[in-house]
């Protein structure tokens, strides 16, 4: 793990005990007993929806002799559960929300491993979610190889010196292959490819059914064909930031697995029934559980 991007200036003081870290949006601090109980952390599974993370924690606990489930006290922002070595956390929708959850969870992971690079690198990170497919039927589970923004460029943020910091949005390919291999008999379609993380569900995904519409039908179809030709297989709202931040710390094992709810080449509206949507949401979870069982 190349930890050049870790904020040692702040985080090492927390480990030394000269600072207490308030994980404000998670509702805990590094001085809390609950946080001390996370020292066996081996994986962090993130997803947009709180109830889905709660369901996943119950399933993982049931698979592990009904291991106790620890619920984080604050649920206004994110729903977080810890059981049998795995932290399940919701991150809300979009990169601004998910980046807050991820940064606080990375700080927490640093603290509970005492900043030991080997222990940190044993933690597997994944986002499990839903997405719009590009040239794939609804219900396909896509394992991302790279997260890019809607302009096909990597995630970037203002760097404080008048320019942009450009991040690396690649996901480790050996993990992509291992997830596909762990699911070779899963019974639903799977694919791998690049993923666009858009800043909006409507405008930046070139939908024509938003309250605000900037694109024409031709703009939309030419964008969809352009991203498909560039290897993009699905569109969601977090992946470019997720890979960017985890690469910045040098983690070697992380992934994003998202089920498609529709094929954007065929339309904009999500018209699946609640039962279909539930099944699609479950598929990405089943795919990541199959991989988790091979590493934990």
Q: Whose Cβ is closer to ligand URA: residue 93's or residue 180's?
A: 93
Q: Is 249 helix (H, G, I), strand (E, B) or coil?
A: helix
State the minimum distance, in angstroms, from the CB of residue 91 to ligand URA.
13
The span from the CA of 70 to the CA of 198, in Å, is 33
Give me the least distance between CB of 262 and ligand URA, in Å please.
6
How many residues bind ligand URA (CB under 6 A)? The answer is 9
CA dihedral 177, 136, 239, 204 (to 10 degrees): 160
Residues 167-206 that bind ligand URA (CB under 6 A): 201, 205
Q: Which residue has the tokens 């900037």?
A: 214
**Contacts (CB under 6 A) with ligand URA, residues 119-138:** 130-132
**Euclidean distance between CA atoms 293 and 296, whole angstroms:** 6
Q: Torsions phi, psi of 180, nearest 5?
A: -65, -40
The residue whose two tokens read 């480990």 is 15
Comparing every residue's Cβ against ligand URA, the nearest one is 132
CA contacts within 13 A on the Cβ side of 177: 3
237 touches ligand URA by CB under 6 A: yes
* Residue (57 or 237) nearer to ligand URA, CB: 237
Smallest distance, ligand URA to C-beta of residue 233, A = 12
Residues 36-55 binding ligand URA (CB under 6 A) are none
Structure tokens at 258: 């998202």
Q: How far is the CB of 200 from ligand URA (least distance, A)?
A: 9
For ligand URA, the closer CB: 213 or 293: 213
How far is it, in rounded angstroms, from Cα 188 to Cα 158? 41
- Binding site residues, ligand URA, CB under 6 A: 130-132, 201, 205, 235-237, 261
């Amino acid at each position: 793990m190349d930890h050049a991007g870790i904020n040692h200036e702040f985080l090492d003081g927390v480990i030394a005990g000269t600072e207490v870290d308030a994980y404000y949006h998670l509702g805990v601090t590094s001085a809390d007993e609950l946080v001390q109980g996370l020292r066996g952390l081996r994986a962090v599974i993130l997803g947009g929806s709180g109830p889905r993370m709660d369901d996943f924690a119950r399933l993982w606990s049931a698979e592990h002799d009904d291991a106790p489930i620890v619920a984080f006290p604050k649920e206004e922002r994110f729903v977080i559960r810890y059981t049998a070595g795995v932290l399940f956390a919701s991150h809300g929708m979009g990169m601004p929300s998910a980046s807050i959850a991820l940064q606080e969870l990375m700080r927490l992971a640093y603290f509970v491993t005492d900043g030991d690079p080997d222990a940190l690198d044993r933690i597997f990170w994944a986002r499990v979610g839903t997405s719009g497919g590009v040239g794939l039927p609804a219900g396909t589970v896509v394992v991302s190889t790279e997260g890019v923004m809607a302009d096909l460029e990597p995630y970037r943020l203002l760097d404080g010196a008048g320019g942009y910091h450009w991040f690396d949005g690649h996901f480790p390919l050996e993990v992509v292959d291992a997830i596909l291999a762990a699911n070779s008999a899963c019974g639903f379609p799977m694919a791998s490819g690049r993923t666009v993380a858009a800043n909006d569900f409507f405008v930046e995904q070139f939908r024509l059914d938003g309250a605000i519409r900037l694109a024409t039908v031709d703009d939309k179809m030419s964008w969809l064909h352009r991203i498909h030709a560039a290897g993009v297989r699905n569109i969601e709202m977090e992946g470019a930031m997720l890979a960017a931040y985890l690469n910045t710390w040098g983690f070697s094992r992380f992934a994003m697995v998202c089920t498609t709810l529709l094929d954007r080449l065929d339309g904009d509206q999500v018209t699946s029934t609640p039962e279909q949507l539930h099944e699609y949401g479950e598929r990405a979870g089943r795919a990541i559980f199959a991989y988790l069982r091979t590493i934990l």
